[in-house]
Structure formats: structure tokens, C-alpha cells
Structure 1
Amino acid sequence: MSFQSIPGQERVKRILQNSLRTDKVSHAYIFSGPSGTGRRAMAKVFAQAIYCKVLADDACGECLDCRKVEHGNHPDVHWIRPDGASIKIEQIRELQKQLSYRAGASGVKMYVLEDADKMTVQAANSLLKFLEEPSSRVVAVMISDNGQALLPTIRSRAQWVPFVPLSRELMVQALTGEGHSPALIQAGVRLAAGTDAARDLIQGNVFAEIRNLVIQLTKESVTRLPTALLTAQQKLTKSELSDHLPLFMDLLILWLKDMVSLSLGNRNDLVYADQTNWMAGQAGSYDMQHWLNCLEQAIELQKRLRFHANAQLVLEKMLMQLKGV
């Protein structure tokens, strides 16, 4: 791996490579941004680059140190993940113990905290003391979906490194190259912030099934509403798929956005491109305001689901709205 092997995040690469090139690596970084944007991969490459014996500002991926970091057995690199729901003070104390031992030839020790915002208050306070008074040359990387959730005193002692959602074009290119279904890719890249997250989503056991269910229920709703209501009950609210109703709503919202585009005569960049002909015919059966109202309703019902609204009632209301009842 190298910095260039990670798609996007050019600003992050510049920050890290400049610090390596000028020998001004900070003692602590906060990698903050949405899941799936390459934060973990970047932390690993950064660790490889710090110890790499071949390149000054990148990882060669071939030297012994690079390979040790890649395989998770470099003695000076420590990777901490939540133990259950949180990172506990015992984990931070054990880390401090490990970091008190003498580093290898480079003289640098490094640790990466995944989901750093999940530290308990005691763990965060213990880490803060260590950030203020490290016993040797140590580099910390704290990975978080929301770096602002970390203690202000920790944030003030670390360099902020913002990760942004990857461009849709880059994600499509990468996933297409891996041979994934184009139909699933178009939906996945709109629901994920990065290639890894999109890949996990479309490879999930239910993603394709839920997408097919969106197609089935929308078709049935506008032609045979009673059948749609029965299908929704049997296949979604009363089955093992009931836990995936939020995903169903996400994919339905994408379908409705396609319908708005089609009602405007735009067939470009559709998520459900494989359904274009049927959808275009239906789009013209109602005026555009109908589809905008449906989209508004779907977004509102999605919010209600987050507050534990009755799933069956939410779904029935949505399907009736599609029919215009």
C-alpha cells in the first residue's frame, strides 16, 4: 500500500506527506469524517511511511517494516479498538505500559485509536495525561466519525485531519473495476461516503433483495394497491427483513428522485437505470407535483421511523401516497 493507492482524500495526503517530508510529524492527529472514507487505510499507510526504510514520504510496501505494519505485527505500532461498546481505561493503561518500553531503531512508537469518540470519560482523561506528557517519541492517530465528540482538551492537543466523502465518480470507477453489479453500484455509492462503505453495503446479504422489493412494491402500488399492501406486510414488516426498513426507505427515496427526474424528461444518471422504460411510462401518469409530494412524504416518514413509529402504518401510508389515494 501507498498513499496513492487510497482513492481521494488528496488534502489529507498532502498534510501527512508534508509532515513526513519536513520531519515535522505531529505527536497526535484526529482523523475525523464519515465511515468508509479511508481513515483506517490512511492510518495504516501513515504508519508504514513513518517506519519505511526506502521512501521518505510514503510507504514502499515491500520493506520489512512496511510488511510488519501491513500484517499487524510491528512491535512499535499499537491498534486499539473498542472493547464492546467503548474504549475502557484498562485498555489505555495497557497501551501506556506498552509505550513505556523502548522503541526499535526508529525511536518512534505509534498508536491508533479506532472509534476514539467511544472512550469512556476515565479512558479519555487517562489518555489526555499521556498526550500532555508522553514518556518518549510517540505518534497518536485518533479515528472518529465525529471528532467534535472528543474532549476539547484532547482536540486542542492534536492536529485535525478532515476526511470528506469520496466523489461518486471515483467510487463507481473503483467498484465497477471490481466487477460489482452496475445496478447495485448506482444505489450503493449514493448511500455511502466512501468506496469501502459502498462495497460493504452492496455485498451485504439483503441489499439486492431490498432493492428488488422497492421495485416490486412501487410497481404494485401504482397498479394493484391491495396486492402491494399484502406484499409489504408479508415481505417487509412481518419478516426477517423488518430490521431493514430504514434501508428500504433510503432506496425508495432514490427511486422517487429518479421519478422526479423522469417527470422532467431527464433520463441521465438514474439510480434505477435498469427500470428506465417502465418508470418513464409511470412518471408521465401523474404530474410532477405528485412525485415531489411522494418524495417529501418518504423523507418525513423516514424521520418518524427513527423515532420508532409503527413500521406497518408508515409503509402503508407511503404505498397509498404512491397510488395517490
Structure 2
Amino acid sequence: MPELKAEKLQPTILHRFQQVIAHHELAHAYLLVGPDGAGKQELAQWLTLMLFCRHVTDGRPDLTCPECQRVLSGNHPDVVVAKAEGRQIKVDQVRHLKAEFTKSGMEGQRKVFIIEDADKLTTGAANSLLKFIEEPGPGIYIFMLSNNKNAVLPTIQSRTQIVEMQPLSPDSLAQQLTTAGVPQELQPIVTGLTDSVTEAQSWMQDDWLKQVVANIVRWFKETATGNLESFVDIQESFVPLVSGHDREATCLDLMSLIWRDALVIASHADGRLYYQHYQSTLQAALRQLSVDQVLAASHIALTSRKLLDQNISFQNVAEQETLRILKETAHL
């Protein structure tokens, strides 16, 4: 029998669910929480297969019966899936969900609702679903998925069993990043910022991450060695690349991350390096700096990121960060 992706991504949680199902203790509503790529969708699909499969053997769906085949193909009439279109799950989708909640299964006694991006339900939409989540009726199972538990209304959380995905193993994450097209030299940097494969994929569009990292490595060398071109680089090299708050925040996080690596190198600590591919470049740039100077610079880089959330423009934040680092490293 082939191994399902959920069995690879979340074996411990899946085993726990096998025991729950074997003892007929499956709850009617779950909130599955974890980053993209951690296995939320796959786990929801596995649970759906277990509920509909006609020949469950040793705690696993057979994957070959007509019920399994329809679940796997996305064509089962008693499986209703809702996901965000853009930034929110729209009102029409919520109306459809509410209508489906009132109907019994077309072909049996069970019906499954999978609500992806549950954190993107508007407050009004989420509140309108509370009654159905709290009292879904016999045979109805609801699996809500979210990247961020804290973005889901507390009233939703209190009416569901919350299951948090375990972090992917380094090997699993590396394999997914490779599949997503992230070059090996950039993978450690990506894992320093996120464990979401989808987010990493978005950074790879138009070689954005590759360009930004190249600029940041050059900027780091310039700030560490007192080159005032680092200030000019902000407007000429960075500003054209960062459009929108998310990209601006990611760029500042990458700046903070490289100075964090610099501190690990300067202090001869045992911490993991994220800019591993550029280690020799970082070491060469740090030759004239003391540990205290690197510590001060890394602190500036870390705290500068928070200024972006205070409605200060990216250019102002990055330029001020650059000047402050140059001053601390005794080059101004």
C-alpha cells in the first residue's frame, strides 16, 4: 500500500489519530495549525479518507475503494471544501457552507467540511458559523486549517480541538524547499526566516530572494568595512526591489539575520550559521571589528526591523540603520 504524504509529514500526530479513531473518539471539529508545507491539508485529507473508506485496514485507508478514489480526486459529494479567494473567505462561500451544514450527506451518514485559511474568515463570517461548529449534528466533521492559531477567533478556538503540527524535520524541509526551487545555498537563509514552503516559493519569484541576498551581502561588507556606499545602496539597490510591507519586512529580517551570523562568527559561538555559503566573506569583513562592535551592530539591525511597524518608510528605516551601524563600528 502506498504511503500517503500525511504519514511522512506528521507521523506522530497521525498515529495519535489512528488510536482516537480506533476507540471511536474522533471529535466533530478540529483546528489544524501549522505553516504551509507542514501537512495540514494532507492530514485533513487522511482523516477524510478514514471516515469514508470502506476497507480500513490496520488503521489505514485502502486508497483503492470508490470512496477513497473520489476523496483523492476531490469529487466526493459529501466533502465540502472552502478556501480563501484573495485575502478573505468571501460571504458567498460562507453562505454556501451554512446551507451545506443544514443538509445531510448525499450518499451516507457522514459529511466532512474542510475550511482552509480559517484565519481569513471575517469576524462576522466566523461568528455566523459558531452554531454549526458547536452543534454540527450527527455524522458531520469539520476540519479547520490555519497557519496562525492566534489569528483565529477565540470563540472558534474554544469550540474546536486544536492540533498543532510538529515542525518538519530538517531533511523533510530541505526536500520540500528543493522541490519548490530554492537553491541549496539559499535554503539555510530561508529556514532562518520561515518554515513555510509556500512563503519561500513566493520569495523565489523573479529571482527576488537571490537578488536581495546578493545586495545584503554587499551591504554587509560595506557597513562592516566603513564604505559609505552602503548608504547609497539603500536607495539605488534595495528600494527598487522591495514593494509592499511584506517584502520590506523580509528584507529587514534578512539584514538582521546576516548581522546575527556575524556575531556568531566574531564571538566564536557554536550557533548555526544561516548565511553559510557566504561565511568566508563575512569573516573577511569582520577582521577589523571587535566583538563589542559586532554586538552593537547586530542589536541595531534587530531593533530596526520593529520601526517598520510604526509606519516609518522602509527607506528611512534602512538608511538610519546603516548610519547607526557605521557610527557604532567607528567609521563615522
- The 3-state SS of whatever aligns with 2:30 is strand
Shift of 1:228: 2.1
Provide the residue aligned with 2:42 in structure 1: 41
Is the aligned partner of 1:256 residue 2:259? yes
Provide the residue aligned with 1:181 in structure 2: 183
Q: Which runs of no fewer than 5 residues in structure 2 stay unpaired?
A: none
Shift of 1:61: 4.0
Distance in 2, Cα, partners of 1:121 & 1:292? 43
Provide the residue aligned with 2:28 in structure 1: 27
Is the aligned partner of 1:265 residue 2:273? no
- The 3-state SS of whatever aligns with 1:66 is helix
8 Å Cα contact 2:78-2:106 kept in structure 1: yes
- The 3-state SS of whatever aligns with 2:185 is helix
Provide the residue aligned with 1:226 in structure 2: 228
8 Å Cα contact 1:256-1:294 kept in structure 2: yes
TM-score normalised by length of structure 2: 0.84
Distance in 2, Cα, partners of 1:60 & 1:207? 42
- The 3-state SS of whatever aligns with 1:286 is coil
Question: Matches of residues 190-205 of structure 1 in structure 2 within 5 Å?
Answer: 190-194=192-196, 196-197=197-198, 199-201=200-202, 203-205=204-206
- The 3-state SS of whatever aligns with 1:191 is coil
Is the aligned partner of 1:156 residue 2:164? no
2:281 aligned to 264, 278, 282, which one?
A: 278
- The 3-state SS of whatever aligns with 1:139 is strand
The 3 A distance-change label for structure 1 pair 43 and 162 is: same
Point out the more displaced range, 76-85 or 294-303.
76-85
- The 3-state SS of whatever aligns with 1:143 is strand
The 3 A distance-change label for structure 1 pair 298 and 116 is: same
8 Å Cα contact 1:235-1:241 kept in structure 2: no
Provide the residue aligned with 1:301 in structure 2: 304
Distance in 2, Cα, partners of 1:92 & 1:245? 33
Provide the residue aligned with 1:124 in structure 2: 126
Q: Read off the aligned partner of 2:318 and give its amino acid letter.
A: L
2:295 aligned to 287, 292, 310, which one?
A: 292
Provide the residue aligned with 1:318 in structure 2: 321
Distance in 2, Cα, partners of 1:111 & 1:52? 16
Provide the residue aligned with 2:78 in structure 1: 76
Shift of 1:321: 3.7
For each residue in 1:145-166, what CA deviation from the matched residue of structure 2 results, as whole angstroms up to 9, or x when unmatched? 3435545444333212122443
Is the aligned partner of 1:139 residue 2:145? no
8 Å Cα contact 1:47-1:69 kept in structure 2: yes
The 3 A distance-change label for structure 1 pair 125 and 278 is: closer
Q: Read off the aligned partner of 1:308 and give its amino acid letter.
A: N
Shift of 1:288: 1.1
Distance in 2, Cα, partners of 1:120 & 1:202? 27
CA RMSD of aligned residues (A): 2.9
Shift of 1:139: 0.3
8 Å Cα contact 2:212-2:241 kept in structure 1: no
8 Å Cα contact 2:126-2:153 kept in structure 1: yes
The 3 A distance-change label for structure 1 pair 247 and 123 is: closer
The 3 A distance-change label for structure 1 pair 313 and 180 is: closer
Provide the residue aligned with 1:66 in structure 2: 68
Provide the residue aligned with 2:89 in structure 1: 87
Point out the more displaced range, 291-300 or 40-49.
40-49
Shift of 1:110: 0.4
- Identical residues among aligned pairs (%): 26
For each residue in 1:231-258, what CA deviation from the matched residue of structure 2 results, as whole angstroms up to 9, or x when unmatched? 2211212x14343232221112221121
Distance in 2, Cα, partners of 1:41 & 1:307? 38
Q: Read off the aligned partner of 1:252 and give its amino acid letter.
A: M
- The 3-state SS of whatever aligns with 2:25 is coil
Distance in 2, Cα, partners of 1:257 & 1:178? 26
8 Å Cα contact 2:180-2:201 kept in structure 1: no
- The 3-state SS of whatever aligns with 1:225 is coil
Distance in 2, Cα, partners of 1:110 & 1:152? 22
- The 3-state SS of whatever aligns with 2:31 is strand
The 3 A distance-change label for structure 1 pair 67 and 191 is: farther
Shift of 1:127: 1.6
Shift of 1:93: 3.1
8 Å Cα contact 1:28-1:158 kept in structure 2: yes
Shift of 1:63: 3.9
In the comparison of the two structures, how many residue pairs are matched?
322
8 Å Cα contact 1:168-1:190 kept in structure 2: no
TM-score normalised by length of structure 1: 0.85
Q: Read off the aligned partner of 1:189 and give its amino acid letter.
A: T
